[in-house]
């Protein structure tokens, strides 16, 4: 991605300009406020995309922040104008930055000396982390003291507003839980979303789940229902395509491979016959004759059938003489 760096971009980012993207995030608390100043500063810093949010700082319901985090890939940088535009608290701010670091991404604030791509910025971040840990220690100490005092007075713990059936309190709690869940999904999206996009809706959810789990250690395996819920959440937030939730096409057993190969070809029309065969082998799909090694001719035969039935509109690449087929030859 080409970045148009202008005044205000430091030497470090200029050196990386051809290999990383700057993704901006702007937020105001009310509809009456405007993000114009933030947007101008972010664009001047070289941000190629800016996600704009209107939400209270006390709220974790930040759909645009979730979209920004999902957009950022390894090596990219999330850029904000001021620290209070991102986190509702220091702990929340550090939680987001830690998530970016775990994914190989970076964070930069235009008005504070924080840039996790530089040693100085990392040092400042570590100092903030120490302050946050001190704050958490104080909160834990005060909470324990408050609970002890309440117990001595005979009071029972719990949220009194929820106990009274306060609908606003219940909505705030639900929004917070939903945002935490969405943030957790964005952390792992690179592990499951590409496979889902490649296989759905041609393959069943059980088959897609097996394909996702094949690349993960057992401790991080998905269940079918968990994966479906994750995809439904991403679709609802506009982070994934709605067609991923479509039903598996109803086909005869002998047409399953044809539909599967057609789906792979549609997902990436530039794939060669060899590359499609390699994907089928990685998915442990056997050839029409029961073999485990896919020849280019076998792939082409299935693509020709798919094209004849209207599943593909682009002709498959030709098979060279050096690429044998595992299909039986006609006498």
Residue 170, both tokens: 């219940």
DSSP run (H or E) holding 108? strand 106-109
Q: At what angle do helices 167-199 and 224-236 cross, to 10 degrees?
A: 110
Q: Is residue 130 part of a domain?
A: no
For the whole prediction, is pTM greater than 0.75? no
The answer to the question of residue 206 being in a domain is yes
User: Within this chain, do residues 227 and 287 fall inside the same structural domain, yes or no?
Assistant: no
**Domain contains 162:** no
Angstrom distance (rounded) from CA 215 to CA 226: 17
238: domain range?
177-245
Separation in Å, CA 138 to CA 88, 131, 141: 18, 11, 5
| Among 198, 218, 245, residue at a domain's last position | 245
Residues 234 and 280 in one domain: no
Encoded tokens for 92: 């929340």
Residues 27 and 111 in one domain: yes
Q: Is residue 161 part of a domain?
A: no
pLDDT tens digit at each of 331 positions of the chain: 333 333 333 444 433 344 479 999 998 876 657 888 899 999 999 999 999 988 765 555 678 888 888 888 889 999 998 887 876 566 677 778 888 888 889 999 898 778 888 877 667 767 766 665 656 666 677 777 776 776 777 655 555 555 566 677 667 767 777 777 887 788 788 889 888 988 888 788 988 999 899 888 888 899 999 999 999 998 988 888 888 998 876 655 557 888 888 888 888 888 899 999 999 998 888 888 778 899 999 899 899 888 887 777 655 555 544 444 444 444 4
**Is there a contact between 222 and 212 (Cβ–Cβ < 8 Å)?**
yes
Choose, from 29, 91, 118, 204, the residue flagged as catalytic.
Answer: 29
Angle formed by the axes of helices 224-236 and 205-213, nearest 10°:
100
Same domain, 88 and 67: yes
> Which residue(s) pair with 60 in the sheet?
none
Residues 190 and 286 in one domain: no
Q: For residue 30, with 0-12 CB atoms within 10 Å meaning exposed, 13-18 middle and 19 or more buried, which class applies?
A: exposed
Q: Are residues 254 and 220 in the same domain?
A: no
- 104 falls within a domain: yes
Main-chain phi, psi angles of 87, to 5 degrees: -100, 140
Are 19 and 106 in a shared domain?
Answer: yes
For residue 165, what pLDDT is reported? 62
Question: Given this model, what pLDDT does residue 223 score?
Answer: 93
**Phi, psi (deg, nearest 5) at residue 213:** -70, -25
Residue 153 in any domain: the answer is no
Instruction: Assess if residue 140 is contained within a domain.
Output: no
| Residues 57 and 92 reside in one and the same domain | yes
Q: What is the pLDDT of residue 248?
A: 78
Integer angstrom CA distances of residue 277 from 100, 143, 208, 285: 35, 60, 18, 9
The domain total for the chain is: 3
Query: What is the reported pLDDT for 57?
Result: 53
Q: What is the DSSP letter of 116?
A: T
Length of the chain: 331
Angle at 180 between CA 217 and CA 188, to 5 degrees: 30
Q: Domain check: are 303 and 218 in the same one? A: no
Is 29 tagged catalytic? yes
State the Cα–Cα distance between residues 124 and 219, nearest whole angstrom. Answer: 34
- Given a contact cutoff of 8 angstroms between Cβ atoms, the answer to whether 317 and 329 are in contact is no
Task: Give yes or no for a cis peptide into 201 (omega within 30° of 0).
Answer: yes
Q: What share of the chain is helix, strand, coil (3-state, %, to 5)?
A: 55, 5, 40
């Amino acid at each position: 991605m080409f970045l148009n760096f202008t005044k205000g971009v430091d030497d470090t980012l200029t050196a990386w300009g051809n290999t990383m993207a700057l993704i901006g995030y702007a937020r105001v608390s009310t509809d009456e406020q405007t993000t114009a100043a933030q947007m101008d500063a972010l664009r001047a810093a070289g941000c190629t995309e800016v996600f704009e949010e209107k939400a209270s700082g006390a709220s974790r319901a930040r759909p645009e922040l979730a979209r920004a985090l999902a957009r950022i890939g390894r090596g990219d940088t999330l850029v904000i104008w001021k620290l209070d535009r991102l986190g509702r608290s220091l702990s929340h701010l550090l939680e987001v930055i830690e998530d970016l670091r775990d994914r190989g991404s970076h964070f930069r604030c235009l008005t504070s000396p924080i840039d996790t791509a530089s040693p100085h910025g990392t040092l400042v971040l570590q100092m903030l982390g120490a302050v946050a840990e001190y704050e958490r220690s104080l909160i834990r100490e005060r909470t324990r003291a408050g609970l002890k005092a309440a117990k001595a007075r005979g009071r029972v713990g719990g949220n009194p507003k929820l106990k009274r059936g306060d609908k606003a309190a219940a909505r705030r709690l639900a929004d917070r839980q939903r945002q935490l869940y969405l943030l957790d999904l964005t952390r792992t999206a690179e592990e499951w979303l590409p496979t889902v996009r490649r296989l759905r809706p041609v393959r069943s959810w059980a088959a897609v789940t097996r394909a996702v789990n094949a690349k993960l250690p057992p401790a991080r395996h998905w269940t079918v229902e968990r994966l479906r819920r994750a995809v439904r959440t991403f679709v609802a937030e506009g982070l994934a395509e709605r067609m991923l939730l479509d039903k598996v096409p109803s086909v005869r057993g002998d047409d399953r491979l044809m539909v599967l190969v057609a789906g792979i070809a549609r997902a990436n029309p530039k794939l060669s016959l060899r590359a499609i065969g390699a994907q089928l082998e990685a998915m442990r799909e056997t050839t029409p004759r029961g073999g485990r090694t896919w020849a280019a001719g076998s792939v082409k035969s299935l693509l020709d059938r798919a094209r004849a039935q209207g599943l593909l509109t682009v002709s498959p690449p030709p098979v060279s003489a050096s690429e044998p087929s595992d299909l039986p030859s006609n006498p």
